[in-house]
Structure 1
Amino acid sequence: MKKLALVLCFVAGTANAASSLKQICTDYTKYLGHVYGFAVSEDESMRKLLLADMKRLNLSEAMVQKEMYKATTDDAAKMYYAKFLNPDLNDTNRAAFNQMVTYCEAGPDMMIPSWPVLVAKGKVRKEDAGKSINTYIQSDEFMNSRGMRHQKVEGTLESRARGNGVSPDQPIEYSSPNN
């Protein structure tokens, strides 16, 4: 029985450690919904949720003010942030929420304004700390994702410059506009 409990504790610890980036991104997406909720209603319960989000995500008041401004002036933000406020309402809201979490996981350095602070304070796993949009774009996961072009493009410009029937061993002759 003790062995089973030990194994379950180990598995639970591994699951928690593996979900840290996902959890931070989920919290950030919830925060965007709370920003919208407070900006629209100025409700005390929304204010408390927003303050808890600020503390958990190490967000400054200026960062929150910027998001609140966006939530009240940007039409796209109004539409999406409202979905983030209540993701369990319907499938559309849930899909938008999950999509935002996925985007955040792909490039947390671009999505979360306090990302460097979270990394510096050790609130992010070490293997996730270096995750950025640039590392994602250069990853095999991105290159092999659905919709990416899979064709060899090396040498196509050179072959076009040479013209049809010209050997790659022959040098390319460039003409000057003055000739």
Structure 2
Amino acid sequence: MKLFKKPNQRGMGTLELVLLLIIVIALAGVGWYVATKGSDTKNKYDETSQVNSQPAVTTKYLELKEYGVKIPISTDLSGLTYTAETIGGYTYLYMTTSELKKSITACNTEAMSASGASFHALSKTDGQYPTEPTMDSGTLLKQFDKFYIGGNVPNGMPCLADDSKNAEMVAKQQTLQKALTEAFKNAQETK
């Protein structure tokens, strides 16, 4: 009797074939997984590259030197300028845009003062905005540590010589007032 039998030499058995098939399927699955993850990473990289290749948006500011404050200028406030006037010890800033000033001047026969061609008058007051504001306090635009900026809007009609233009001018002023109020949310001290 032989202790060791001679193995079947005719080819692969069923067990070996099943094991080989499992290994081939596993390798194919791993290859597919790696290939799809690689393309996902490439897509994420491409998206990131596109975002980073966009030009950086630079914010323009208007510095209100008399107040030591700067405000960001949005497209709605394009051409924003101001005229400073000191009255009774207070410095008021009359805000306008070149377009608004031109439009108001065109619909009036007499020269307009800085306040007459403005859409907002700003004032700076030391301390905290009052809990019970008066007309002199204005509407709070921004409270800073040691002072606040208040604003008043015109209460007259901008076009004295051509009443038909008043609705259009008032609408422009209101749009600018809203944009300025939004800009003051991001106002910063410069001093």
TM-score relative to the length of structure 2: 0.22
- Larger strand proportion of the pair: 2
Q: Which has the higher helix share?
A: 1
- TM-score, length basis structure 1: 0.23
Task: From the CA coordinates, give the structure whose radius of gyration is larger.
Answer: 2
